[in-house]
Amino acid sequence: MKLRKARLLAIFLAVAISVTFIPTFSFAATSLKAPAKVKATVVSDTAVQVSWGKVKGAKGYLVYQKQADSKYKLAKKIKKGATVKWVSNNLTTGEKYSFKIKAFKGKKKSKFSKEVSAIPSPPAASIFMNGKVYTVEGEDWENNAVEAMAVDAEGKLLGVGSTAEITAQFKGDNTEVVDLGGKTVFPGFIDSHIHPPGPAFTVLYEISLSGIFTKEETLSVIKDFVDSHPDMDAYFGFGYSNAVTDKDGNVEAVNRAWLDEICADKPIVLSSFDYHSRWLNTKALEMCGITKDTLAPEGGDIKKDLDGELTGVLTDCSGLVTLSAEYTEDQIEEAWKWFFERMNSWGYTGYSDAGTSSGYADMLMEKSKAENGLPVRINFAGMMSADDIDGSIARLDALKEKVGDTKDIRVTTAKIFADGVVEGGTAYLWEPYKQPALQNLFGKEETDWIGAIKLSQEDLNELTLKANAKGYPIHVHSIGDRATTMTLDAIEYAQTELAKEGVKDECRNIITHLQVVDQDDIQRFKELGVIAACQVFWHFKAPDMYWPIEEPLLGKARAAREYPLNSFYRIGVPITASGDYPISPVNNPFWAIEIGVTRNLENAEFYKGSFPDIKDIEDMDEKTYLLNPAERVPLKAMIEAYTINGAYQMNYEDVCGSLKAGKVADFVVCDTDPFEINPVKIDEVKVLKTYKDGKIVWEE
């Protein structure tokens, strides 16, 4: 009896176990997971590759393709591996190819994988690979360089990424492949304030005085030119320093008597390095009808000595100088060719014209429409006059209509001069200039001289309002702190008046130069959305300017605070960069980038002609030329100032300024990565090649 019960219990347990566990074991042994990590990639102009993770226990895989009716149809059966190359002779650019995968074993099938898709792109015209490409895209771009770029036949970027990704996706049978060899790439540089065609006419045909700071050398260069060009009826030139030094290092203001000794019977007209002053000999003064009784225009100054006699120097009085150089068509063509080559050699692919070359619009438009086009992108500004505000706006409208949709040229901006310059005593300040520098340099005995404003607050308000109302940002020359305050007041006035009419003023107004700025005004840049367009070349104690001119005229405390930069950057004010070329005669952006990072001397060689004992620094904290290190900015900020921020100022950020799919392939190839070297060596970085629209416009 006991044995029978034991047998029955054993049978019951066996049945129970089989009922409970056998289905589970059977399911575990026969079920298949759906494939994971499925990926579809365009690998050429004729193939899409589909890959997936292997499924344990699977004997093969079934690949289904989505049809036009959105249903999936079995396309391939794969017995080995976990990838398939989907080859077609007619992959359609822009069309989506979608897939799902099942694993199988015998008659058992897994569930579908997730859908994956690939969209074929056109094969690239060219691929640039194996580089260190800083795209200037995203917050952390300086830590996320890529290797490669694909460019289409129109010069636009198809994609950026690793060399493997870009070649796999965009390399076609006819794609040109360029090996960057590990070189550093940045977007093409953009100068935010320039005077085209720079010093071209002077260098090629006139008296060039840039980079000369002594009286002896200045007069020697002038005399050599006059003596070697006896057939000229008049002599013109550019670049002289407002204050030169004699053999003993004493500062002297230039005087017409010096020119008279060189040439008394023909006119000599020279422009200062900042373009704000003219230096004339007596013959030129007579031919222009300028006497000691001539009145200076608003904001200008006719320099006289302590006896009331003309020195031959006129600051911000260009309208009084009626003599001007004339050039042949061939000379004009040669000058612009020279200018473009210099700009491209420094890595520039775009610039904002500061209102000086619109007279060449027809020629530039013709070049833009030619087969090779222009080697740069241009933003024109129209000069505004307080005496004819409506006429100024109308002329800007006409220029914009003329340019129209010309490739590479836009007209967006109204240029205004608010004041003059410190070195001419015409920058408009809150606190007076210092004596005795005023007397030594300009023959002025006043102790309350604060400079000269070029237009009233009412005129500045009206001009800003009318320009902004038509969608033109103002681009304002402002050196002195009081001029900047007035400009900000005008921008605030325009925004307030437009708001009353229900219009949001979205103009990207610009104030440039910003040598002396009231600290209370810096926050207003942020509040009013104003761009700070800075000439960072000047942001250190330059030996030709700081001690002979700026410190004596401004005083030590004010001079030590000049040229704020980090004050703008740290609160989020967009900063752009330029050389005000030809004011900075070597417009190499890496010189300015170094100064922005160090606030110190960037290239001693430039000054050696007049300062033979000057030496390059080895440490960015060396004191001699260091100007307010609190205003240093990160290298990243300076690169952005010359790329994406410059594009933003030009209203071109949808086109250029960074490297991403859809933008133009404007970029520079450099020999050295500035992020990996001592900051005082940044000026030594060389541009090897400059590309615009994916094509070389300059190479070393």
Question: Which H or E run contains 456?
Answer: none
pTM, whole model, 2 decimals?
0.82
Q: Provide the percentage of residues in the chain whose pLDDT is more than 90.
A: 74
CATH topology of domain 126-182: Urease, subunit C; domain 1 (2.30.40)
Residue 314 makes CB contacts below 8 A (sequence gap 6+) with 277, 278, 280, 290, 296, 300, 301, 302, 303, 320, 321
> Given this model, what pLDDT does residue 6 score?
54
CA distance 298 to 319: 11
Average pLDDT, the chain: 91
Confidence of residue 72 (pLDDT cuts 50, 70, 90): very high
CA distance 219 to 258: 8
Backbone φ/ψ region at 508: left (φ over 0), alpha (ψ -120 to 50), beta: beta
Q: Does domain 39-118 have CATH number 1.10.287.980?
A: no
Of residues 700, 584, 576, 578, the one with CA closest to residue 647: 576
Mode of pairing for the β-strands spanning 377-383 and 409-417: parallel
CA distance 567 to 631: 6
Q: Is the pLDDT of residue 36 over 60?
A: yes
State pLDDT tens for residues 507-546. 999 999 999 999 999 999 999 999 999 999 999 999 999 9
- Please state the separation of Cα 365 from the chain's center in Å: 22
Q: How many helices (H) and strands (E) does the chain have?
A: 19, 33
Question: Which H or E run contains 205?
Answer: helix 200-205
Average pLDDT, stretch 314-343?
A: 93
Q: Is the pLDDT of residue 34 over 80?
A: yes
Neighbours of 170 (CB within 10 A): 27
> Given this model, what pLDDT does residue 21 score?
45
State pLDDT tens for residues 249-263. 787 888 999 999 999
Domain limits of the chain? Answer: 1-29, 39-118, 126-182, 207-232+239-265+272-320, 329-418+453-699
Residue 220 makes CB contacts below 8 A (sequence gap 6+) with none
CA distance 607 to 304: 30
Q: Is the pLDDT of residue 2 over 70?
A: no
R_g of the chain computed on alpha carbons: 34
Burial of 565 (0-12, 13-18, 19+ CB in 10 A): buried
Q: Is the pLDDT of residue 646 over 80?
A: yes
Q: Give 157's strand partners.
A: 151
Q: Which two tokens stand for residue 541?
A: 């104690």
Average pLDDT, stretch 137-143?
A: 95
Of residues 244, 294, 246, 296, the one with CA closest to residue 270: 244
> Given this model, what pLDDT does residue 517 score?
98
Domain 329-418+453-699 in this protein, CATH class: alpha beta
